[in-house]
A and B are shown apart, each in its own frame.
Chain A
Amino acid sequence: QAVVTQEPSLTVSPGGTVTLTCGSSTGAVTSGHYPYWLQQKPGQAPRTLIFDTNKKHSWTPARFSGSLLEGKAALTLSGAQPEDEAEYYCLLLSGGPWVFGGGTKLTVL
């Protein structure tokens, strides 16, 4: 089972842009890992923002986008809002099982 790595914490200024990344111990992350990005705020269940690398749900704000970047999955937030402060988790398909990353705590400050 792969180990999935994320930045433990990042800070972005309101209105700024930030990219969160998601790597795999087994090598480059590809579309075959079907990367997901989930957002979780304190006391709430997680919600998926991005699935299958770059697909959005109807509730995903347009300022979030997913991509593959230099062998990793990436979540880019363009025009950060105070309500984007949260924990962000990536999820990768690792053979049969899936594996979550450790999460990135994003601060908007």
Chain B
Amino acid sequence: EVQLVESGGGLVQPGGSLRLSCVASGFTFSSYWMTWVRQAPGRGLEWVANIKQDGSQKNYGDSVKGRFNISRDNAKNSLYLQMNSLRAEDTAVYYCTRGMTHWGQGTLVSASS
């Protein structure tokens, strides 16, 4: 069974940093592109970033480009999202997903003073 478990969310002051993790199991992690998607409270889905199987290609949404960095460790079956210069508008539930087919339960990030 495919499982994705996010962690690392929490309360952070605007301008601060946070690192999210997603541990995958039940499939060959190194064979798949992986993606982060977020959803602000009461708002729609926003595509954040994705990363190729070997980490050689990364793409970012305009709102996070230059501030967020996606990475992965295939030996640990783990996906990461390093978030810097956080803003209030980054407050959201962050999901990791494999191909929009399998989703984690999400982790809440709140950027607030």
Contact = CB atoms under 8 A, between A and B. Distances in A.
Contacts of B50: 97-98
Contacts, number: 50
B32 to A, nearest CB: 14
Contacts of B37: 46, 100
Given A97-B60, A98-B47, A100-B47, A51 B100 contact: yes
B105 interface: yes
**Interface size class of chain B, counting residues whose CB lies under 8 Å from the partner chain:** 20 to 34
B47 A96 contact: no
A87 B42 CA distance: 12
Contacts of A18: none
A102 B19 CA distance: 27
A103 B106 contact: no
Interface in A49-75: 51, 57
Nearest to A92: B47
